[in-house]
Amino acid sequence: MDQLFAPWRIEWVTRDGDQDRDEDYCPFCELPDGGDDAESKIVARSEHSFVLLNNYPYAPGHVMVIPYHHTGDFADLSDEQLLDHARLKSRTLAALDAAFDPDGFNAGENLGGSAAGGSIDDHLHTHVVPRWNGDTNFMPVISDTKVLVQALDDSYDHLREAFAGLDGAVDGDDDGAVFFELD
């Protein structure tokens, strides 16, 4: 695939604490404990899950809802963890709607290992992608190139503000992720 220049991505590539990418490393386990939600692009949190802006978005606002529990199988999550994950997905849809006013959404999981298409196949996560009528353009079709129309930092700020404005946002006044108590 051809590449378009994206200088804002260098911060991700050169970030501190770069791990030896051994088989035990999981960014979805490491990022929530990193201490800087804005730098990690964690937009919202709940007791058992968090919302992470996708580093390689299909569209502006593309996020992942991820349980803290490291597993690739929904059957390994408790009922409380499953409900929390589902409720945070619902809040995510509301925040994306408020922030970006899309015409619809795609949401789905890559489950069952690398054959399912996920680059991180041992920690389940739900992709939520805002969509607009006519948003697919000619670039991927004729040149195998994706066009990102908004910088990740701008998407993060816009979406974080939308999460902070939702009912049930407990802590949305600082620079970190917005927290929800979903019980």
For the question of residue 125 being annotated catalytic, the response is yes
Structure tokens at 131: 């969509």
Q: Which of 62, 125, 127, 158 is catalytic?
A: 125
List phi, psi (to 5°) of 131: -135, 150
**How far lies 95's CA from each of 15, 20, 105, 125, in Å?**
28, 35, 12, 18
136-163 residues labelled b (16+ CB within 10 A) or e (exposed): eeeeeeeeeebebeeebeebbebbbebb
Task: Strand 104-109: give its sheet, edge to edge.
Answer: 104-109, 126-131, 63-67, 49-53, 42-45, 178-180, 169-171
- On whether the CB atoms of residues 11 and 5 are closer than 8 A, the answer is no
Catalytic residues, by residue number, are 125
